[in-house]
Amino acid sequence: MPLSILIVEDDSLEAARLETALSRKGYRCVLADDGDGALARLSLERFDAVLLDLVLPGLDGMGVLRRMSARGLAVPVVVQVTPAGLDAAADAIRAGARDFVVKPAGALRLEVALANAIALGRAARPEAEIRTGTVVPFAPPAAPAAPGDAAQEHAFALLESAGHVRRLEQIEAEAIRFACHLYGGRLTEAARRLGIGRSTLYRKLAEIEHGAVGEDLPAEPLAPRFVAAE
């Protein structure tokens, strides 16, 4: 069965664009045009993920996230923000969203964000649910590596030592480091493989280098080394 996505978007043209893009990727899409409508849909049927615009009439996206948390709705959420609203994305992640995209996001970026959110959501489900068959177990795929490279044994840890799910930005920072290493500092190729724009990759590398994300990772001067290698 195709994965089901609830698209919460009040702009009818943008909603139609998202539905078309994701349907072509094999998703089953259901639309809601406001926060209350989204919650009503979530109470009626099961979705694999929610693509949630933060700016909505009435109950906004942050309100939806808070009510989902209060009701115990553990559906993975990817939020949509405008370029001027990136600060809101951090608030949404803290409120329980798994990832964010900047509007208007392309089909590939949407697919990557939703796939990651769904995978992280499955990994975070209680073990008891997995053992009883309520949830399909998820095993993260081994990362590819260059022949003879020590990275052949590399795998991303999804849980902290205390057993809690690692923060999304920590996992993202680790994935970016690994991609840049794997492709020898070729940022165009690393960005393509990660499903993000090259300018976005530059920005994220700068954030990692200055300790804005992935605080549990060892600091190393990433950006200059990889820029020089291009």
pLDDT tens for residues 53-108? 999 989 999 999 999 988 888 899 999 988 887 788 888 888 888 888 888 888 88
Q: What are the helix (H) ranges across the chain?
A: 12-24, 35-44, 61-71, 86-94, 107-124, 127-131, 168-182, 187-194, 198-209, 222-229
- What's the pTM? 0.56
| pLDDT of 123 over the 50 cut | yes
Which two tokens mark 6? 């609830």
The burial of 25, by beta-carbon neighbours within 10 Å (0-12 exposed, 13-18 middle, 19 or more buried), is given as: middle
Domain boundaries, the chain: 4-131, 150-229
Q: Is 213 a residue whose pLDDT tops 80?
A: no
* Higher-scoring residue by pLDDT: 160, 11: 11
Q: How many angstroms separate the CA atoms of 199 and 86, rounded? A: 15
Residue 147 or residue 84, greater confidence? 84
Tell the CATH superfamily of the 4-131 domain.
Response regulator (3.40.50.2300)
Q: CA 32, CA 64: separation in Å to the nearest integer?
A: 12
Mean pLDDT score of the chain, rounded to an integer?
A: 74
3-state secondary structure (DSSP) of residue 148: coil
Write out pLDDT tens, residues 107-117.
888 888 888 88
The angle that helices 187-194 and 168-182 make with each other, rounded to 10 degrees, is: 140
